[in-house]
Amino acid sequence: MKVTFVSDMDENPGLPPDLRFLKTLVTMLTGVMIVGLITVVVLLVTRLPGAAVTLPDRLQVPNGTSIVAVTQAPSYWIATTTDDRVLIFAPDGTFRRDIPLD
């Protein structure tokens, strides 16, 4: 039986070629993932913050109704109510028109 001592072994035998290839692939994948994550964060930071919407203090709706949905157009606000009406308001919140839905 042959006994091998640590001093008899090669100091740095190196990795087999297939493991070196795998190590290179993992390192490249890690780099690509880091670059991708940084890209996503930069895009979110630059694209998401938009101009703040100026909301009117209040929208006066007729008694007995409540607003279901509100949307903003360039020169007016549109509100739909629970009693199937569309209310149009000026940008400052003053009432303009009432359109019944059939």
Rounded distance between C-alpha atoms, residue 88 and residue 71, angstroms? 10
Pair type for strands 67-72 and 77-81: antiparallel
- Please name the residue ranges forming H helices in the chain: 17-47
What is the pLDDT at residue 7? 60
SS3 45: helix
Q: What is the mean pLDDT of residues 15-29?
A: 93
Q: Is the pLDDT of residue 10 over 80?
A: no
pLDDT band with cut points at 50, 70 and 90 for residue 91:
confident
Q: What is the mean pLDDT of residues 17-28?
A: 94
| pLDDT score at 69 | 92
